[in-house]
Copies of this chain bind each other. A is one copy, B any other.
Amino acid sequence: MPTVHVQLFKGRTADQKRAAAVAITEAVVKTLGGNADTVDVIFHDIERHDWATGGVLWSDKAPAPHQAPKAP
């Protein structure tokens, strides 16, 4: 507590999630108070074919040219 749920595109590495868990926990404690031991962070991987924005699944969107696609 607090409990933080992160919905994101599938594909992040374990190291990215490991770092995110630390950084989000620190951000929560620093701004909302409480003890880090009571903070839960849960990652929910979402497939690109399961997330639509503007009615279009992300698996159907063309990546933007000359840049990494901005993805959830």
- In the complex, how many residues of chain A place their beta carbon closer than 8 angstroms to a beta carbon of chain B? 56
How many angstroms from the CA of A18 to the CA of B59 in the assembled complex?
A: 10
Which residues 10-24 in A have Cβ within 8 Å of B in the complex? 12, 14, 16-24
Residue contact B14 to A7, C-beta cutoff 8 Å:
no
A48: min CB distance to chain B, Å: 11
By a CB distance below 8 angstroms, the chain B residues around A57 are: 14, 17-18, 21
A40: min CB distance to chain B, Å: 5
A69: min CB distance to chain B, Å: 9
Closest 9 CB pairs of A and B: A1-B72, A21-B52, A23-B27, A25-B55, A2-B8, A20-B31, A19-B31, A43-B50, A37-B54
